[in-house]
Amino acid sequence: MIDQALMQPIPDRIFRFACHKDLPCFTKCCANLNLVLTPYDVIRLKNRLNLSSEAFLEKYTTSYIDEAYGVPVVKLTMNNDKTRRCPFVSPEGCAVYEDRPGACRLYPLGRAASKIFEGHPAGEYYFVVKESHCLGFNEERDWTVQEWIINQGMDEYNAMNDSFMNITAGRQAKTIKALNDQQLQMYYMACYSLDEFRRFIFETTFLDKFDITKDVRKRIKTDETELMAFACQWLKFSLFGEKTIPISSHHRA
Ligand code: SF4
Ligand code: SF4
């Protein structure tokens, strides 16, 4: 979680910032983070590291149950030493830069789930995180929020993350908190352990039970972002009873 005292509004959606190797603070921000990963972050990182989703989750992440909604959340584990640095930081910067998580791309901006500043209209969700060690705010480069999002490749991440947010959107926290252990395990697998979820689809009786067209089967087998979108549909079906996946005629009552 970001310390609320560090959050500042962005007047006219313009802020001044630049980050580069010549700053004395270079990579100081890549330590001691509560870096929550989204399902799309996990896909990008595990592929970057050439690991299965299970191996990546085991080696680099810790999971816990979110207090408000009661669903599993995954965060990147910092090094277990005094520095508590990110496992991917190097003297040259981020070693997984092209596939760095969405939160790292957005920094020094943050995105709030609801209105947090007086005078800012609902929907104005971005704020600046002003940490004292970050010297990037003294640099003379102005950005609009939109320019920053595009410059950091965040638009692609936002689009993928929105389909995931969609699973719980509009539901009462108490409905979600009522999920049992088996449902929580399903949520974790479908959201984060995508290689395991793929086996659940293709190596069990799943395809006998549901009417999944050849075209969809092909897409979810070969394209992980399609599989991730399918996983969202599956969770809506299996956890919340939405009719997002057609049941095979052999299995209808
Ligand atoms: S300018 Fe800020 S974001 Fe860039 S390296 Fe320094 S502390 Fe990190
Ligand atoms: S993933 Fe890269 S940018 Fe993000 S904290 Fe780690 S080293 Fe820094």
Q: What is the pLDDT of residue 119?
A: 55
Residues 17, 57, single domain; the answer is yes
pLDDT for 13 equals 87
- Do both 12 and 110 map to the same domain? yes
Q: Which ligand is nearest to the CA of 30?
A: 2
For residues 95 and 186, state if they share a domain: no
What's the length of the chain? 253
pLDDT for the residue 173: 87
Same domain, 122 and 198: no
Q: Which of 120, 141, 164 is the last residue of a domain?
A: 164
The alpha carbon dihedral of 57, 60, 66, 69 has a sign of negative
pLDDT in tens, 175-229: 889 999 999 999 999 999 999 999 999 999 999 999 999 999 999 999 999 999 9
Q: What is the pLDDT of residue 1?
A: 61
33 lines ligand 1 (CB under 6 A): no
Residue 118 CA to ligand 2 center (angstroms) comes to 32
95 and 196 co-located in one domain: no
Give me the number of domains the chain comprises. Answer: 2
Q: Considering only 3-12, 29-38, 118-127, 162-171, which range has the smallest mean pLDDT? A: 118-127
What confidence score (pLDDT) does residue 118 get? Answer: 55
Binding site membership of 36 for ligand 2 (Cβ less than 6 Å): no
Higher pLDDT, 104 or 5: 104
Whether 86 is in the pocket of ligand 1, judged by its Cβ within 6 Å, is: no
Q: Which two tokens stand for residue 161?
A: 């993350």
For residues 142 and 202, membership in a common domain is answered with no
Answer yes or no: do 152 and 196 share one domain: no
Question: Which domain covers residue 197, as residue numbers?
Answer: 171-251
pLDDT, residue 141, reads: 96
The predicted structure's pLDDT at residue 162: 83
Query: Which of 164, 183, 206 lies at the terminal end of a domain, its last residue?
Result: 164
For the ranges 107-111, 133-137, 163-167, the maximum mean pLDDT occurs at 133-137
Q: Is a pLDDT exceeding 70 seen at residue 124?
A: no
- Res 182: pLDDT: 96
Residues 193 and 159 in one domain: no
Same domain, 118 and 184: no
Spatial CB neighbours of 223, under 8 Å, sequence gap ≥ 6: none
**Which residue did the predictor score with more confidence, 127 or 162?**
127
Distance 48 CA to ligand 2 centre (A): 13
On whether both 8 and 105 belong to a single domain, the answer is yes
Stretch 87-104: mean pLDDT, rounded? Answer: 96
Per-residue pLDDT at 122 exceeds 50: no
Residues 160 and 175 in one domain: no
- Which residue, 119, 139, 164, sits at the end of a domain? 164
33-66 tens-digit pLDDT: 999 999 999 999 999 999 999 999 999 999 999 9
Domain shared by 109 and 42, yes or no:
yes
Phi, psi of 153 (to 5 degrees): 65, 25
Q: Is the pLDDT of residue 171 over 90?
A: no
94 ligand 2 Cβ < 6 A: yes
Give residue 112 CA to ligand 1 midpoint distance, Å. 21
- pLDDT tens figures, 139-162: 999 999 999 999 999 989 988 888
